Amino acid sequence: MSEEAKTREDITRFAKSIFERGLTNGSSGNISVRLSHGDILITPTGSSMGFLDPARISLISSDGAHLAGDKPTKEIPLHTAFYDTRPSAGAVVHLHCTYATALSMLPDIDRENVLPTLTPYAIMRLGKVKWLPFFVPGDPAMGAAVRAIAGRHSAVLLANHGPVVAGDALAGTVYAMEELEENAKLAILTRGLNPVGMTVSEVAQVVQQFNVDYG
């Protein structure tokens, strides 16, 4: 099986799992994977994560030109911005998951690091998650906002919209997205209960032990 054919199958499999577990709904969310030669497979516009046809997943060039498959998602600028600013990125996942989106709307979150330091795994998989303001879905300005952070974050949280995570490979990127949603859920569920989070020293230990880019 060719790299492209295998990647189409992998995207379909992970997307179905994401959909069936309620991490995104309807025809929301999108996934992309950068192939070794630079072209990008990306889920089509209006498609449901639960019912993708591998053969119809869109193929675009590195600059966003449509090469094959169905018409790609309107969020191409968001995906290509991560690929252009994070050379190691091999996959990007954007979902509309409930708790992360809810967290994006709260007025007193730390916009430079929206997840409270409640578990080590969010730090290990995500580093600091930066909040970005609201953009109309598909607005190229969304991609410009990602470019402006110049690759310093592997994950962002779009206000009133949802999270976006970039990673080296598809599986790890999906796992990081799941960790983001679970920690957002913890943050919402413990809000106002004065939870005992990790100390500055404990965070530093995790950052050092796992070589996390936490600048």
- CA-nearest of 122, 42, 114, 25 to 78 is 42
CA distance 84 to 63: 9
121 is catalytic: yes
The one catalytic residue in 4, 9, 83, 121 is 121
Instruction: Kindly report the number of other CB atoms within 10 A of residue 214's CB atom.
Output: 16
The one catalytic residue in 4, 75, 178, 181 is 75
| CA 21-22-28 angle, 5° bins | 130
Active-site positions read 75, 121
